Amino acid sequence: MSTTQQSYIAVEESKPAAKPVSLARFGDYLELIKPRISTMALISVALGYTLASAHSWSVIPLIHALLGIGFVAVGCNSLNQLLEVKSDALMSRTASRPLPSGRISVSEVLIFGVVAALSGIFYLAIMVNLLTAFLSMLTLVLYVVVYTPLKRYTSFCTTIGAIPGAMPPILGWTAAGGNLNTSSFTIFAIMFLWQFPHFLAIAWLYRHQYYQAGLKMLPTADPARGIVGWMCVIYAILLIPVSLLPQFVSLAGTFYSVVAFIIGIGYLLFSIRFLRNETPKTARELIWFSLIYLPVLLLTLTWDRLQLFN
Ligand code: HEM
Ligand SMILES: CC(C)=CCC/C(C)=C/CC/C(C)=C/COP(=O)(O)OP(=O)(O)O
């Protein structure tokens, strides 16, 4: 074997093993549907379903609801990334996503997103109920048609974005046959308020990237020290009494209220830490706690609700 052949083999052997094409494409599509946010949304759907059905809970209707809402969520996230391909390319947080990096084409995502969203809505209308299909369509419109383009114009976009963000447990609730009543509104209000410290800390952490990409997630590129922290603290304070409402509408008992109060104080303390010292570390810790708070609150609410029926 010649020296050239030997060195060629050596270079080939030292290359990391390339992923099979189908696996790489699966990974790209997975990234397109934002798997972690979508999973949290579907867990919220399942808990909303359980809260509404309690003693009459059964698995098949829940699977139908998760399938239909899951398809709409896939449509939401794909179409959101399609509309943001230019700004995503300008931020290091999102530049390696499959669309800005050219691994999936715009037309492919358009077809994929529209087909997923429409199939989900029709599936819900046929297999679940019309109210859930309608509310899922409203979620899609608010997220894709209103919130996403509005990010380029005003920081008020986040308040609009928090409406579709608060919908997953309500979609689960209506999928189980629940009405839009004070109980479902209470869950909506908790989920709505929870998002403010969550996304404000994120918007602060990536403020320079957002500014560079022309996205107005905060009122200014470099807000006066403390402003974002104060906003987090105010929403965390508001969330505490609102998170205690389920007991007053007979959705849960004292155990839930105690847990909600403790984690609510925790969320407030992380917001205060961020206010006192706005640094990437305190912002990341607040984001981290927000992602602990939500599943703990919803799981405790559901568990306590089930106890009320036993
Ligand atoms: C206006 C509302 C919301 C905005 C603007 C927002 C924005 C974001 C952004 C930009 C990230 C990525 C952070 C990073 O890259 O470090 C993120 C992370 C996350 N968000 Fe939200 N979010 C919102 C609402 C929600 C809702 C309603 C849920 C759950 C149902 C949720 C669940 C998550 C999860 C699980 C993560 C961590 C996983 C990941 O980074 O992909 N978010 N959020
Ligand atoms: C039908 C259904 C359950 C739909 C999902 C609803 C849901 C969980 C919406 C999330 C809300 C939201 C504003 C996310 C951030 O998007 P972004 O565009 O600011 O995030 P990015 O910058 O990472 O793209």
Gap from CA of 10 to ligand 2 centroid (Å): 46
Taking the CA of 39 as reference, the closest ligand is: 1
Gap from CA of 37 to ligand 1 centroid (Å): 6
Is the pLDDT at 11 greater than 80, yes or no?
A: no
pLDDT in tens, 268-306: 999 999 999 999 999 999 999 999 999 999 999 999 999
Q: What's the confidence (pLDDT) of residue 16?
A: 53
The C-alpha R_g of the chain, in whole angstroms, comes to: 22
pLDDT in tens, 35-71: 999 999 999 999 999 999 977 889 999 999 999 999 9
pTM for the structure as a whole: 0.92
Q: What's the confidence (pLDDT) of residue 19?
A: 65
Taking the CA of 44 as reference, the closest ligand is: 1
Q: What's the confidence (pLDDT) of residue 17?
A: 59
Q: Could you tell me if 285 and 202 are in contact, meaning their C-beta atoms sit under 8 angstroms apart?
A: no
Gap from CA of 17 to ligand 1 centroid (Å): 32
Q: What's the confidence (pLDDT) of residue 12?
A: 42
Is the pLDDT at 264 greater than 80, yes or no?
A: yes
Q: What's the confidence (pLDDT) of residue 310?
A: 66
Gap from CA of 15 to ligand 1 centroid (Å): 35
Instruction: Give the residue-averaged pLDDT of 213-222.
Output: 90
Top mutation candidate among 77, 199, 291 for ligand 1, by most atoms within 8 Å of CB: 199
Both tokens of 292, joined, read 């602990």
